[in-house]
């Protein structure tokens, strides 16, 4: 329903201190103004104060959906990755290791779902996507969704 | 909009925002359908046009940092008991627009609420109270015509032919709200909850969409003056048929669904062309007497092969008891009485606030009249209009109703905040709107769970109160006014209600 609280929840969860006010008001080190602004222009969405959420609400008229990594069984991004920065964990999660990522953006081109983002900021440059909130039982976006539009289940 | 100089109405509400906590996520901006919230990109700040705010509280609900508080606006006219602010505003509005002032929801004026002046009884030493957690407690209710007496054959089997009934697990149903006045998702919420609870929802006058035919066993289908969506298939799809003559919020007035709202969904359900106004005339043009009503009741019974109860819904008006008596004599299996505080999607402000009588008095009078005439068993009496809590339901049953409809309370489980702007078609909670951007805010699965919770909670409370009275069945409370006492009421009120004052044995 286009409230985009999933994006807010994601940013809070991936902030250094998981506090909503601090996450948005303290200038975070991992801030990525360029890519967030570009995305804002592309989708007509709010830049969320220059911070990059790992889920993106895309809208086409009344149809709106929160798009995040599907953690595919056969991840195309993993095959496309030239440095082995992307791995599939035993629990099914597909994870990007920012230290090994060289920002070639091959994964972005390979992803069918268009859910991998460029994370480009001061001293930061790597691919960026949903990590299914490793510190939580259910991802932050699912918990914050006020309309139960997001469900967390294995398929 | 006219020039501000000839249209000045001070803002009713003020949106307070804690800018230190606001993270500019703009969720409030995107959620406000009343154009009261804006993002100022130059100052990177969210601002409000307070005059547009209707206090629906959607922004308060959605704000992830709780930085918004909607309060009453400080600006008031000079205090005047003869001319309260809303009357002054009404004159200004009507001077500008020259039309009937509309409103939504039930009457909000300060009339006495008789429920709040009636007390329930409880058992003490001489008659034991019952613990509903240990002993069975019956809330099951049957709506329909009851036989005068029961006869059994030699083997003890029932020989009397019984009339069609609706079985309710609890004496609580969801009031008539049509698809059109409420959204598809809101309608689905009611239908889902009713089918899971074993009670009934009501189609209102807007027909039954094909998607809801599977829930037909727990849906009462309505036949109103506009006859929208009425077909043989429709009549037979429901558990019962209700002829709507009047509505508590606007007795004597028909309905009008503007053409802009009649989209494909509404058009197919109501069986009218897309984009045309759906107008329900004030009267049924084929009913001008009790005899005419009998013809329609008989026709509907014939159309449903005498398998379904057929009832009549009327608004609580001054001579409600006499009308109800006529309706029962015309062959109705149930009579629904809608009190003047009942809700509506749109009603003239003057009518809503000034027409009709309270449901408590109406039910007491109808029950008394039907008993006096010896025809009470011929029809069930359903109360509607401002049943706000389980004790209200207990009191109305003790005053003589068989069951009650809840409408406003059911909508509140979907988020309704009683902002009274249903008629604008911009409901921020996706309830009374057909705007696809707004209707999707209502998740029927989630909201029906909440509605089920509410009805379960009320049922538990009713069982507790019944047990406290030493009763083990809602049947024993029905019309049992000795369990009620009035407090702070005049002798006339007590006489009309048929109850004793508190303290009198």
What HEC string does B64-99 produce?
CCCCEEEEECCCCCCCCCCCCHHHHHHHHHHHHHCC
| CA B89 centroid distance within chain | 28
Q: Does B443 touch chain A (CB under 8 A)?
A: yes
**Statement to judge: residues B335 and B465 lie in one domain:** yes
B472 and B137 Cβ atoms separated by less than 8 Å: yes
Q: Does B450 touch chain A (CB under 8 A)?
A: no
CATH number of the CATH domain containing B74: 3.30.70.20
Q: What is the pLDDT of residue A45?
A: 47
Domain final residue, candidates B99, B127, B161: B99
Torsion of CA A129, A130, A136, A141, to 10 degrees: 120
Cα(B324)–Cα(B332) distance, integer angstroms: 10
Residue B123 lies in a domain: no
Domain final residue, candidates B67, B99, B131: B99
Cα(B283)–Cα(B383) distance, integer angstroms: 21
Residue B272 lies in a domain: yes
Using CB atoms, pick whichever of B23, B30, B442 lies closest to residue A24. Answer: B23
Task: Please state the ipTM of this predicted complex.
Answer: 0.83
Cα–Cα distances in angstroms (integers) from residue B432 to residues B2, B212, B270, B343, B435, in the given order: 27, 18, 17, 12, 9
Q: What is the pLDDT of residue A44?
A: 46
Using CB atoms, pick whichever of B21, B24, B27 lies closest to residue A5. Answer: B27
B216-243 residue pLDDT tens: 999 999 999 999 999 999 999 999 999 9
Pairing mode, strands B255-257 and B278-280: antiparallel
Which residues of chain B lie closer than 8 angstroms to A40, CB-CB?
A: none
Q: Would you call A46 and B24 a contact, using CB atoms and an 8 Å cutoff?
A: yes
Quickly count: other Cβ atoms within 10 Å of residue A102's Cβ.
Answer: 13
Cα(B255)–Cα(B176) distance, integer angstroms: 13
Q: Does B436 touch chain A (CB under 8 A)?
A: yes
B280-294 residue pLDDT tens: 999 999 999 999 999
Residue A56 Cα, gap to closest chain B Cα (Å)? 13
**Statement to judge: residues B259 and B335 lie in one domain:** yes
**Statement to judge: residues B397 and B469 lie in one domain:** yes
Q: Would you call A8 and B436 a contact, using CB atoms and an 8 Å cutoff?
A: no
Strands, DSSP E only, in chain A? Answer: 56-60, 63-67, 86-88, 94-96, 117-121, 124-128
- Alpha helices, DSSP H, located in B330-435: 349-354, 359-372, 390-398, 408-412
Q: Does B39 touch chain A (CB under 8 A)?
A: yes
Residue B338 lies in a domain: yes
**Statement to judge: residues B90 and B222 lie in one domain:** no
Question: Which positions in chain A have a beta carbon within 8 angstroms of at least one beta carbon in chain B?
Answer: 1-5, 7-9, 20-21, 23-25, 46, 48-49, 61-62, 64, 144, 146-149
Closest CA to A50 of A63, A62, A37: A37
**Statement to judge: residues B171 and B94 lie in one domain:** no
**Statement to judge: residues B156 and B225 lie in one domain:** yes
Cα(B54)–Cα(B86) distance, integer angstroms: 14
Burial of B110 (0-12, 13-18, 19+ CB in 10 A): exposed
Q: What is the pLDDT of residue A108?
A: 93
CA angle A152-B211-B188, nearest 5°?
A: 60
Name all domains of chain A by residue range, CATH numbers in brackets: 5-144 (3.30.70.20)
Torsion of CA B245, B250, B255, B257, to 10 degrees: -140
Cα(B110)–Cα(B107) distance, integer angstroms: 9
**Statement to judge: residues B163 and B86 lie in one domain:** no
Residue of B nearest to A61 (CA): B437
Residue B124 lies in a domain: no
- N-term to C-term CA, chain B: 63
Residue B444 Cα, gap to closest chain A Cα (Å)? 10
Burial of A10 (0-12, 13-18, 19+ CB in 10 A): buried
**Statement to judge: residues B310 and B410 lie in one domain:** yes
Residue B23 Cα, gap to closest chain A Cα (Å)? 6
Q: Is B334 helix (H, G, I), strand (E, B) or coil?
A: strand
Query: DSSP class of residue B100?
Result: P
Residue B61 lies in a domain: yes
pLDDT, tens digit only, all 505 positions of chain B? 445 556 677 889 999 999 999 988 889 999 999 999 999 888 888 999 999 999 999 999 999 999 999 999 998 889 999 999 999 999 988 888 888 999 999 999 999 999 999 999 999 998 899 999 999 999 999 999 999 999 999 999 999 999 999 999 999 999 999 999 999 999 999 999 999 999 999 999 999 999 999 999 999 999 999 999 999 999 999 999 999 999 999 999 988 888 888 999 999 999 999 999 999 999 999 999 999 999 999 999 999 999 999 999 999 999 999 999 999 999 999 999 999 999 999 999 999 999 999 999 999 999 999 999 999 999 999 999 999 999 999 999 999 999 999 999 999 999 999 999 999 999 999 999 999 999 999 999 999 999 999 999 999 999 999 999 999 999 999 999 999 999 999 999 999 999 999 999 8
Interface test with B, best of A46, A57, A60 (most B CBs within 10 A): A46
**Statement to judge: residues B299 and B214 lie in one domain:** yes
Cα(B96)–Cα(B26) distance, integer angstroms: 34
Residue B280 lies in a domain: yes
**Statement to judge: residues B35 and B152 lie in one domain:** no
Cα(B375)–Cα(A54) distance, integer angstroms: 68
CATH number of the CATH domain containing B157: 3.20.20.70
Residue-range definition of the domain harbouring residue B69: 4-99
**Statement to judge: residues B58 and B151 lie in one domain:** no
Cα–Cα distances in angstroms (integers) from residue B503 to residues B125, B394, B434, B487, in the given order: 18, 20, 52, 9
Q: Would you call B441 and A147 a contact, using CB atoms and an 8 Å cutoff?
A: yes
Domain final residue, candidates B44, B73, B99: B99
Q: What is the pLDDT of residue B1?
A: 46
Establish how many alpha carbons lie within 13 A of residue B285's alpha carbon, considering only the half-sphere containing its beta carbon. 5
Q: Would you call A4 and B27 a contact, using CB atoms and an 8 Å cutoff?
A: yes
Question: Three-state SS across B297-326?
Answer: HHHHHHHCCCCCCEEEEEECCCCHHHHHHH
Binned average pLDDT, 10 residues per bin, chain A of 155 residues:
89 85 66 56 51 83 90 94 94 92 93 88 83 92 93 87
Residue B32 lies in a domain: yes
DSSP states of B159-211: -SPPPP-EEESSSEEE-B--BTTB-HHHHHHHHHHHHHHT--EE-TTS---GG
**Statement to judge: residues B274 and B331 lie in one domain:** yes
B309 and B166 Cβ atoms separated by less than 8 Å: yes
Quickly count: other Cβ atoms within 10 Å of residue B133's Cβ.
Answer: 10
Closest CA to A11 of A26, A2, A23: A23
Q: Would you call A21 and B65 a contact, using CB atoms and an 8 Å cutoff?
A: yes
Q: What is the pLDDT of residue A39?
A: 57
* Domains in chain B, number: 2
Residue B67 lies in a domain: yes
Residue of B nearest to A3 (CA): B27
Cα(A34)–Cα(A21) distance, integer angstroms: 22
Cα(B406)–Cα(B449) distance, integer angstroms: 16
């Amino acid at each position: 329903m286009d409230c985009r609280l999933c994006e807010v929840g994601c940013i809070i969860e991936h902030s250094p201190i998981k506090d909503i006010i601090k996450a948005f008001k303290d200038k975070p080190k991992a801030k990525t103004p360029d890519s967030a602004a570009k995305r804002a222009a592309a989708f007509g969405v709010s830049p969320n104060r220059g911070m990059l959420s790992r889920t993106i609400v895309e809208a086409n008229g009344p149809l709106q959906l929160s798009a995040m990594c599907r953690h595919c069984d056969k991840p195309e991004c993993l095959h496309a990755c030239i440095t082995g920065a992307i791995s599939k964990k035993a629990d099914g999660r597909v994870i990007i290791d920012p230290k090994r990522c060289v920002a070639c953006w091959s994964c972005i081109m390979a992803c069918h779902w268009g859910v991998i983002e460029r994370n480009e900021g001061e001293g930061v440059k790597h691919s960026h996507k949903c990590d299914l909130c490793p510190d939580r039982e259910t991802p932050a976006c699912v918990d914050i969704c006020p309309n139960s539009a997001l469900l967390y289940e294995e398929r | 909009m006219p020039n501000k100089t000839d249209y000045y109405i001070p803002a009713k509400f003020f949106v307070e925002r804690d800018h230190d906590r606001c993270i500019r996520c703009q969720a409030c901006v995107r959620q406000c359908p009343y154009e009261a919230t804006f993002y100022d990109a130059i100052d990177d700040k969210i601002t409000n046009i307070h005059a547009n705010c209707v206090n629906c509280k959607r922004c308060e609900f959605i704000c992830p940092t709780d930085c918004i508080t909607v309060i009453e606006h400080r600006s008031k006219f000079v205090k005047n008991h003869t001319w309260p602010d809303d009357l002054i505003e009404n004159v200004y509005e009507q001077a500008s627009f020259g039309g009937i002032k509309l409103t939504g929801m039930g009457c909000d004026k300060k009339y006495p609420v008789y429920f709040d002046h009636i007390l329930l009884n409880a058992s003490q030493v001489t008659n034991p109270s019952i613990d509903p957690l240990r002993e069975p407690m019956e809330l099951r209710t049957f709506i329909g015509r009851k036989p005068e007496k029961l006869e059994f054959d030699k083997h003890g089997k029932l020989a009397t032919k019984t009339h069609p009934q609706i079985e309710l697990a609890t004496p609580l149903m969801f009031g008539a709200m049509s698809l059109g006045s409420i959204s598809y998702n809101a309608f689905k919420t009611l239908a889902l909850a009713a089918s899971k609870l074993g009670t009934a929802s009501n189609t209102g006058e807007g027909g039954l969409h094909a998607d809801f035919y599977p829930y037909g066993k727990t849906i009462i289908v309505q036949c109103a003056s506009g006859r929208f969506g009425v077909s043989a298939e429709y009549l037979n799809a429901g558990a019962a048929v209700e002829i709507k003559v009047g509505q508590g919020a606007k007795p004597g007035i028909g309905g009008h669904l503007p053409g802009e709202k009649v989209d494909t969904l509404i058009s197919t359900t109501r069986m009218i062309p897309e984009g045309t106004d759906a107008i329900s005339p004030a009267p049924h043009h084929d009913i001008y007497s009790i005899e005419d009503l009998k013809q329609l009741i008989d026709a509907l019974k014939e159309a449903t092969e005498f398998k379904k109860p057929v009832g009549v819904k009327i608004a609580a008006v001054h001579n409600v008891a006499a009308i109800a008596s006529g309706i029962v004599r015309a062959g109705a299996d149930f009579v629904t009485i809608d009190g003047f505080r009942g809700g509506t999607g749109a009603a003239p402000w003057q009518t809503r606030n000034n027409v009709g009588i309270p449901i408590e008095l109406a039910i007491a009078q109808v029950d008394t009249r039907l008993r006096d005439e010896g025809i009470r068993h011929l029809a069930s009496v359903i109360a509607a209009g401002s049943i706000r809590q389980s004790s209200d339901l207990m009191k109305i049953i003790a005053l003589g109703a068989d069951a009650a409809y809840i409408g406003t309370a059911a909508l509140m489980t979907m988020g309704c905040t009683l902002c009274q702007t249903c008629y604008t078609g911009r409901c921020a909670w996706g309830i009374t709107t057909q705007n696809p951007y707004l209707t999707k805010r209502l998740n029927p699965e989630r909201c029906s769970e909440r509605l089920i919770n509410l009805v379960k909670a009320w049922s538990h409370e009713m069982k507790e109160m019944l047990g406290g009275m030493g009763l083990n069945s809602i049947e024993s409370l029905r019309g049992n006014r000795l369990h009620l006492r009035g407090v702070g009421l005049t002798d006339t009120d007590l006489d009309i209600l048929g109850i004793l004052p508190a303290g009198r044995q």
